[in-house]
Amino acid sequence: MTHDVDPDFVALPLDRCADAALSRARDLGAQHAQMRIVSLRSLSLRLRDARLDGSLQDDDRGLSVRVVVDGCWGFASSDIVTPDSARLVAERAVELARVSAPLTTSRVDLADEPVHVGTWVSGYDIDPFAVGETERLDLLAGRCDLLLAQEGVAHVDAHLEAFKERTYFADLAGTRTTQQRVRLHSEITAVAIDETTGAFDTMTTTAPPVGRGWEYIAGTAVDVGGARAWDWDAELAELPTLLAEKMAAPSVEPGRYDLVIDPTNLWLTIHESIGHATELDRALGYEANYAGTSFATPDRLGSLVYGSPIMNVTGDRVAEHGLSTVGWDDEGVGAQSWDLIRGGVLVGYQLDRSMAAEFGHPRSNGCAYADSARHTAIQRMPNVSLQPAADGPDTASLIAGVEDGIYIVGDKSWSIDMQRFNFQFTGQRFHRIRSGELAGQVKDVAYQATTTDFWGSMRAVGGPQTYLLAGAVNCGKGQPGQVAAVSHGCPTAVFESVNVLNSVQEAGR
């Protein structure tokens, strides 16, 4: 369904604020100026055993101005959205640029970008903020009750969060764009407790966060490529049995196994070992004092063998229902798709306009984002996705080709070093594979590798029928810290002879 930008946002003095801010910045000597007006609505709902545990709704609104004066950035913001406020904010931004100029070690230049004028709204049917609190509560409570009624389920936690982000952008070049995007996430966790020993375990739904509306949570959405609808009823019906099997499962024997990794788990490995590693600011060391660096340094572009020849990874801001999908980024750059890894070799990075100019790229690939008007736009992750094989097999066929291995479903804990090289990941559940067939669950599994060894061991990827767009709504970066939502699409994939640890033994228990 096609939506318009909400009337209450359009009714703000968007163009008048832009005229006031940009003209004042130009008069004060700014070579470049941009103004953003941002409104972010959010809601969070938590239930414990079908009872309300917490409910929060928030509306954050403001405007900001960013300028380049004599090769130096300046930025200022306000929570007052009026032309007078915009003019004052522009003055503060220019003043800050002039004060900062003596401390600047390199001049700011921006890659060229065509002028854009238009409106973009993400794809959703039902605005989650148009759904009443009672309806949201009833749906989650009903799902909790279904699980609580099953034998072996002691407790159930349910969580829902939704966001509606509306942004107006204007710059001195003439770009003026208005955007509105909706994203949401829900998960339900069942807890089992052994009353004799006190041992407990959990099993959580694997429905990924998406750039869709309430129809996704209600279970009435339809498949759109990798952005699948979700059969909540089927997963909830299966959850108690899977949890009981996990409670009774033997602890894994550490060693080397072939792994068949489901997209509900593999997306997180992509995020940590590829997504963050191919952020150019991290690879250049700009994030070293907080988020770390990257082993995938620019001198290795075009030569670093990141993985096997069947590894093809793209960055994009255009995937249907992607969490990082936009019409334009927060520097006014049009949404694009590009290669990060092709045939197993590092061929690209994530860029904003200043990094593109600094390193000779003709154009940014649109990776600038700020999570509110209070924050300046920085390079943030696009949708980063491992591509399926066009005629690849389904998951059952991939499992059938494994003699001795483990099928991993769902994400859980993870650990990776500051260079994005040494890592280990766990998951929701682990099914033993023997002679091409599933042979019951094991538990306490963690897979460990270096990034290049892991991706180099990938021997098969599934077809489009196995592809799922998963991701996270809470990726953190920057100082002051910012949060961004990002999707990672991937097929089911097979990895040969990966080191599997027993997490209980590793913990010394």
Residue 397 has pLDDT above 70, yes or no: yes
Cα distance between residue 465 and residue 329, in whole Å: 30
The residue-averaged pLDDT of 216-239 equals: 94
Cα distance between residue 338 and residue 350, in whole Å: 9
Residue 1 has pLDDT above 90, yes or no: no
Give strand ranges (E) for 194-254.
200-204
What residues does each domain of the chain span?
A: 7-222, 263-506
Token pair of 485 as six digits: 């939502």
pLDDT value for 79:
97
| Residue 95 burial (10 A CB sphere; 0-12, 13-18, 19+) | middle
CATH no., domain 7-222? 3.30.2290.10
Q: Mean pLDDT for the chain?
A: 97
- Angle value at C-alpha 59, between 53 and 62, nearest 5 degrees: 150
Residue 171 has pLDDT above 90, yes or no: yes
Residue 358 has pLDDT above 70, yes or no: yes
pLDDT value for 225:
87
Q: pLDDT tens digits, residue range 330-346? A: 999 999 999 999 999 99
Cα distance between residue 77 and residue 446, in whole Å: 45
pLDDT value for 509:
63
Residue 506 has pLDDT above 90, yes or no: no
Residue 40 has pLDDT above 70, yes or no: yes
pLDDT value for 461:
98
Token pair of 356 as six digits: 């593109």
Residue 268 has pLDDT above 70, yes or no: yes
pLDDT value for 139:
98
Among 288-292, 381-385, 489-493, 501-505, the minimum mean pLDDT is found in: 288-292
Q: pLDDT tens digits, residue range 94-152? A: 999 999 999 888 899 999 999 999 999 999 999 999 999 999 999 999 999 999 999 99
Q: What secondary structure, in 3-state letters, does 258-291 show?
A: EEEECHHHHHHHHHHHHHCCCEHHHHCCCCCCCC
Q: pLDDT tens digits, residue range 269-317? A: 999 999 999 999 999 998 888 889 999 999 999 999 999 999 999 999 9
High-pLDDT (> 70) share of the chain, %: 100
Residue holding tokens 């798709």?
A: 337
Cα distance between residue 503 and residue 233, in whole Å: 32
Cα distance between residue 502 and residue 356, in whole Å: 44
| Residue 274 burial (10 A CB sphere; 0-12, 13-18, 19+) | buried
The residue-averaged pLDDT of 233-252 equals: 97
Cα distance between residue 156 and residue 361, in whole Å: 51
Q: Is 125 helix (H, G, I), strand (E, B) or coil?
A: coil
pLDDT value for 291:
81
Cα distance between residue 103 and residue 240, in whole Å: 60
* pTM of the predicted model over 0.75: yes
- Angle value at C-alpha 117, between 318 and 339, nearest 5 degrees: 25
Residue 67 has pLDDT above 70, yes or no: yes
